[in-house]
Amino acid sequence: MKVFCLPLAWTAILICSNAQATPSVPQDQTFTVPGIAATTPPIADGVINDGEYPEANRRQGFSDADTNLTSDEFAEFWLTYDEKFIYFAGRVKTDPRRVVRQEYRPNSNIRGNDNFTLLLDPFGANNNFNSFSTNSNGATSINLSGGRAAKTEWLGEIEANGRLTDSGWETEMKIPWSIMNLPSAGTRDLRFNVRWFRSNKQNSYTFRFINNDSSLIPVWSQVSIPAIPRDRSISLLPYTFLGVEKGSGPIANAGLDFKTNLSETLQFVGTVNPDFRNVENSILSLDFSFFERLANENRPFFQEGSEYLRFGFDSRLFAPQRIPTFDTGLNIYGELDDKTNIGALTTIDFGNRQASALKLSHQLNDNESLDFGLVNNAQPGRNNVAGLLNYFGRSGSIEYYTINQYTADQIDGNGWRNNIGLRYEDKNLNAGTEYVSISPEFLPRIGFSRERDLKGYSAYGSYQVTPKSGSINSYDMSANLSTFDRFSGDFYRNEINLNGGVNLRSGLSVGIGINQTQFEGVFDRGLGIGAAYPTNNPYNQVGLNYDTGTFRGEQFEQYELNWRYRPLNRLQFNGSTEIVETTETDTQHILSFNYDIGKFESIGGRLVSFNGKSNWFLSYRLSGKKGAEYFILIGDPRADQFTDRLVFKAVVPFTIKY
């Protein structure tokens, strides 16, 4: 084995030399907000009036979420509550002409818009955070702890309004307590933080910089959590679709999704004959890789509680993408107590397979946690059981962990994977090192493990700087190194990657990367350069990338163009083109558009062309609010080539009380 002794030693020196510089800091009372309830409920109309919020609950001052550099613009917020709602107000002093506020719909993607986000853990254990975001137009984005599907009846709604002012912008949110899983009623210390995204710097700022140290998360102290009666009802979302398809004639299908509360903190979701064919799939790029890659999972059933069923990082014992179809599924997730989360899921494809996953996460204290998980694939001839036991700890700026995964497969036998590592994170600098060993028999059959039969080391380091003034907004550099042998002792692979980038205040971003790989005796090297402009505009932007080098000893060149264009306020186009030239040429084009007819009504479509084979679809959607939703679809969004197909789909929710 050719060990990168110098980089590993360098990482260790960085960690050790800084370990005593950032001791664990006790909770600063400056970052504690008293739990003073509102005597008169604020009106979330987007206008912050004097005396509307308790002055003792006002806080100001934000710093860079990555580097702790104090913002050169002023922002402040207020936080209060009553027995039904939490009230948040935020105000920014900036040039109102530069505020990005394109989004206006509830439960939408406001990435790239100037916005505030309230992060809130009502259990106070730093492991069940909910996030509520809004911009100066009153658009909202909700991410509840554990993960939720984007169905209004299940996700819930908040009320928000905002406006531009002569000196900047301000916004208000009214958040129902009932939208979150809550602990038992009583006086508690909640944990929270506030994030503020500035589009003019394409940067996030935070009320308190925590450097991934959960003990530094601010406290909302002595809040009287109300007794919210458990909703004793079953929310039913039956669907049906009718249509016609060339070669098949008339087509029709129907199914049912349902959800209810098992307790104040546990959710129960089920599906019968789910409709996956009409869900748009994710498209992988044409990147070179020695290993399998996995596209994102978009199906709503698997989005419910997905954070509680996260079985690893680069290696996962459970990846729902491995379950292409099934007849029925059940999903339970939530909090067993203040410090323990659970996720449990099973799917049944009658006559073929039952796939099940269970995960428990327990917070030992502010700095230590344990994960336990089991995954079972019951399938004729391909039975597989997998388990994990993980430990994570932190001391100041140093995080340490051990990840242990095991598999028992009907064909490949028993296997295992062990990771043990250290990470150091402090403002501008991140560094880490890890030892990995994966046995030749390790196989999570309904998970994702890109390689096995290896043992060795990896290390990384990154450094980022945000200047206070000048033409440079930020610059960064990073290095990644790894060296692995096979279990037999034979050489497997070495790899080194060096990257750097500069972001200018004008919106221009440029980057460069070089790499060298030795894979089973074959040496490869690569060079990549890229640029994007303007990065501070999420709706109108162009990016170019060029890569050249060798892959498996063969020369290659790769060209990539990405662009976004908004010709009208409600019309958005996105596109990309990739060309890869080796001994053969591969080409992929993607074009998508969306036009908002109204707040809850839109039309859209996507065209994907790969080496001359094309698929496209068009859709009409009346969705995003409570009540019935309707869809019209031309084509098949999950097919490889265009299908002559017209479908009308209706989802008509109703509730059964019990």
For 123-174, write each residue's pLDDT tens digit: 988 878 999 999 999 999 998 887 766 666 666 778 999 999 999 999 999 9
Chain segment 553-605, per-residue pLDDT in tens: 899 999 999 999 999 989 999 999 999 999 899 999 999 999 999 888 999 99
Chain segment 37-61, per-residue pLDDT in tens: 999 999 999 999 999 999 999 999 9
CB 378 within 8 A of CB 369: no
**What percent of the chain shows pLDDT beyond 70?**
91
Task: Please give the pLDDT value at position 3.
Answer: 37
Q: Which CB contacts under 8 angstroms, 24+ apart, belong to 182-186? A: 182/122, 182/225, 182/228, 182/264, 182/265, 183/122, 183/123, 183/124, 183/225, 183/265, 183/335, 183/338, 184/225, 184/264, 185/225, 185/226, 185/227, 185/228, 186/224, 186/225
Question: Would you say residue 18 has pLDDT above 60?
Answer: no
Q: Ramachandran region of residue 10, left (φ > 0), alpha (ψ -120 to 50) or beta?
A: alpha
Task: Please give the pLDDT value at position 62.
Answer: 94
Question: Would you say residue 418 has pLDDT above 80?
Answer: yes
Chain segment 464-486, per-residue pLDDT in tens: 988 878 899 889 999 999 999 99
Start-to-end C-alpha separation, the chain: 65
**What percent of the chain shows pLDDT beyond 90?**
63
CB 63 within 8 A of CB 206: yes
DSSP secondary structure string for all residues of 570-604: TEEEEEEEEEEESSSEEEEEEEEEEEEEETTEEEE
Q: Which fold has domain 1-26+294-449?
A: Porin (2.40.160)
DSSP annotation of 24 reads: P
H-type alpha helices, 256-403: 300-303
Cis status of the peptide bond prior to 229, with omega within 30 of 0: no
Pick from 560, 565, 580, 571: nearest CA to 534: 565
Question: Would you say residue 15 has pLDDT above 90?
Answer: no
pLDDT-based confidence at residue 427 (cuts at 50, 70, 90): confident
User: Please, what is the average pLDDT of the chain?
Assistant: 88
Question: Would you say residue 4 has pLDDT above 50?
Answer: no
Q: How far apart are CA 531 and CA 71, in angstroms?
A: 26
Chain segment 246-291, per-residue pLDDT in tens: 988 899 999 999 999 898 889 999 999 998 776 655 555 566 555 5
Q: Which residues contact 236 (CB under 8 A, 6 or more apart)?
A: 256, 257, 258, 653, 654, 655, 656
pLDDT-based confidence at residue 17 (cuts at 50, 70, 90): very low
Cα→Cα distances 87→38, 96, 145, 186, 394, Å: 9, 24, 19, 19, 33
Looking from the CA of 118 toward its CB, the CA atoms found within 13 Å total: 26
Task: Please give the pLDDT value at position 144.
Answer: 87
Chain segment 536-548, per-residue pLDDT in tens: 788 999 999 999 9
CB 573 within 8 A of CB 565: yes
Q: Which residues contact 581 (CB under 8 A, 6 or more apart)?
A: 556, 557, 558
Annotated domain spans of the chain: 1-26+294-449, 35-225
Task: Please give the pLDDT value at position 366.
Answer: 82
Question: Would you say residue 349 has pLDDT above 80?
Answer: yes
pLDDT-based confidence at residue 21 (cuts at 50, 70, 90): very low
Residue 490 burial (CB < 10 Å; 0-12/13-18/19+)?
exposed
The one-letter amino acid code at 607 reads L
Q: Which residue has the higher pLDDT, 215 or 84?
A: 84
Cα→Cα distances 630→106, 617, 622, 625, 639, Å: 18, 16, 5, 11, 22
Task: Please give the pLDDT value at position 288.
Answer: 53
The three-class DSSP label of residue 260 is strand
Q: Which residue has the higher pLDDT, 155 or 637?
A: 637
Please determine, looking at this structure, whether the domain spanning 35-225 carries the CATH number 2.60.40.1190.
yes
Least confident of 4-18, 119-133, 238-252, 621-635: 4-18
Mean pLDDT computed over 213-220:
88
Task: Please give the pLDDT value at position 360.
Answer: 96
Task: Please give the pLDDT value at position 2.
Answer: 39
Task: Please give the pLDDT value at position 367.
Answer: 87
